[in-house]
Amino acid sequence: MSSSPNISAATISDIIVADAHTYLNINMSNVSKLTPSNYLMWLRQVHSLLAGYGLVGHLDGTTAAPPTTITVDNVSADNPEYQIWLCQDRLIYSALLGAISISQQPIVTRANTAHEVWQTLASTYANPSRGHIRQLKTQLKHWTKGDKSIETYLQGLVTRFDQLAILGRPEELEDQIEKILEGLPEDYKPVIDQVEGRNTPPSITYLHERLINHESKLLAAASHYLPHAPTSANVAQHQSSNSHRSSNRNKAANTN
């Protein structure tokens, strides 16, 4: 591999020239740090970025390492193609480590190449074990809105739906909608009734929009009563201050 394709897509700071060979230093500063709960989105971000640079083979293993040595005229020597591959792989490896949260980095301490990092993370977060699947389903069962915002509530559910899909156990859309509605409080009954009255389940995007709009109405209705509380408090404070001043004047008069 003499050079990497799609060099025009990189900025000047991304390009490293060493020994007449061109390498790409991948900038992952815009990639969200990998945590135990965002693997699917992280996977898509990193894969898309490396595919854009034409280097995704270092992740999936299709760009395999050349032999470390070559033999010419019965003499063994270091393979320059391997050194080229290794330099590029080291840059990708470093970029991957930088895109993993510090708490999760110990998972890949034994990985020596970008492909090994990729495989280790896949086996950790996309392992379809019964225990992992059961844990996610239990979390879905007990996840309710409570005092969470609609954004936080839906994000918690969708993240787990995505994780189940990675593990090969995707939830049907109708089941996803049912779980979302089940965790809502009584205040959201108008939206629940509207969705349950449909012949076909809506998309999660459609339901998200309806829930956000209803949340805004509830917050607006609640804030209508809030300005009165400070007024009452100010009146009480004013009366207390007047009473205190009156008491002080009486004490002064009695003393005189």
pLDDT tens digits for range 71-97: 888 889 999 999 999 999 999 999 999
From 14-28, 49-63, 130-144, 229-243, the region with the lowest mean pLDDT: 229-243
Residue 227 has a pLDDT of: 56
- Say how far apart CA 202 and CA 199 lie, in whole Å: 9
193-231 tens-digit pLDDT: 999 999 999 999 999 999 999 999 999 998 876 655 444
Q: pLDDT band for 235, please (50, 70, 90 cuts).
A: very low
User: φ, ψ for residue 65 (rounded to 5)?
Assistant: -70, 135
CA distances from 195 to 209, 213, 228 (A): 12, 14, 36
Output the CA torsion sign for 24, 30, 31, 33: positive
pLDDT band at 9 (very low <50, low <70, confident <90, very high): very low
Q: What is the pLDDT of residue 61?
A: 95
Strand partners, 16: 23
| Distance, CA of 7 to CA of 11 (rounded, Å) | 8
Q: How many residues does the chain have?
A: 256
On whether the pTM is more than 0.75, the answer is no
Q: Identify the residue whose tokens are 């593990």.
A: 167
